[in-house]
Amino acid sequence: MMGKVVSFVKRFYLAIIFIFMYLPIGALMVFSFNESKNMASWAGFSTHWYQQLFHDPVIAEALWVTISVALISSVAATLIGTLAAIGLDGFKAKTKNAVLNFTYIPMVNADIVTGISLLLLFIFFNIPRGYWTMTLAHITFSIPYVIFSVLPKMRQLDRSTYEAALDMGAKPGYAVRKVILPQITSGIVTGFILAFTMSFDDFMISFFTTQGVTQNLSIYVYSMARVGINPMINALSTIMFVVVITLLLIVNLQSLKSKPLKRPRAKSIEY
């Protein structure tokens, strides 16, 4: 009886958490299809705000900036992070742990600290703020996510296959391309999608590293919210939420597919 009560309390607690987390998002998504500007009343189902959204040139430019920065930064971060993970896997344990501890810092550090630090760096080197400073900043904070996506695949590798390729006359670069990369592809894809997701909805670091010169979707939503609640914000936020959730589902499915299946041990037969 006590076990059932504990199980009910756990499920109830989890349900309350999910309600508080997703009920506001659900309301936002519902009212993005509201015909009226007033969010206090429902005037009927309409896609009017989505139509206005896709015909707004400012939003179109912000969308282009968001997607292009996300693509460029995620590709660059995936390349750098994959090579870093391959290199880290060959380090000794103490050196590897020390480097990994430093790699964790951008992931656990507050976004505002990272944004201000990068801003001061760009000011120190007299780099004009704008599109490319945003891209460099997104590459910087995306690299650790790629490294920690690829490293588990590196640990699952059979090192003897790489060494066998070298023994048969393959150069290290060729052996990496033909032996290692095919075996860690799922980790690379997961890292790329995570980097794209983090870049797609980033606000704080983008805001500080561009100083209003260039706007992505997150900065545009913030600027719209400052002057008043426009129903187009609901539509835009809904699209961003759906894109991020879809990418995260792909990451989870990819990680589930890449997990090796445990084969049951054969029972010994006694004669």
Please spell the DSSP secondary structure of 172-203, one letter per residue: HHHHIIIIIHHHSHHHHHHHHHHHHHHHHT--
**Helix, strand, coil % over all residues of the chain, rounded to 5:** 75, 0, 25
Q: What is the mean pLDDT of the chain?
A: 83
Asked whether the CA dihedral 110, 116, 117, 122 is positive or negative, the reply is positive
Phi (first) and psi of residue 45, to 5 degrees: -75, 135
Distance CA 86, CA 78 (A): 12
Residues 169 and 143: beta-carbon distance below 8 Å: no
List of residues 6+ apart from 181 with CB closer than 8 A: 82, 188
Of residues 36, 55, 61, 57, the one with CA closest to residue 231: 36
Q: What percent of the chain has pLDDT over 70?
A: 91
Higher pLDDT, 78 or 182: 78
Task: Judge residue 110's burial from the number of C-beta atoms within 10 Å of its C-beta, 0-12 exposed, 13-18 middle, 19 or more buried.
Answer: exposed
Report the DSSP beta bridge partners of residue 271. none
Q: Where in the chain are the domains?
A: 57-230
Give this prediction's pTM. 0.79
Start-to-end CA span in the chain (Å) = 47
Asked whether the CA dihedral 104, 105, 107, 108 is positive or negative, the reply is positive
Q: Given CATH 1.10.3720.10, say whether it is the number of domain 57-230.
A: yes
pLDDT value for 1:
65
pLDDT tens-digit profile of 215-261? 888 888 888 777 766 778 888 888 888 888 888 788 777 666 655 54
Q: Which pairs count as long-range contacts for 9-13, CB under 8 Å and 24+ apart, including other chains?
A: none
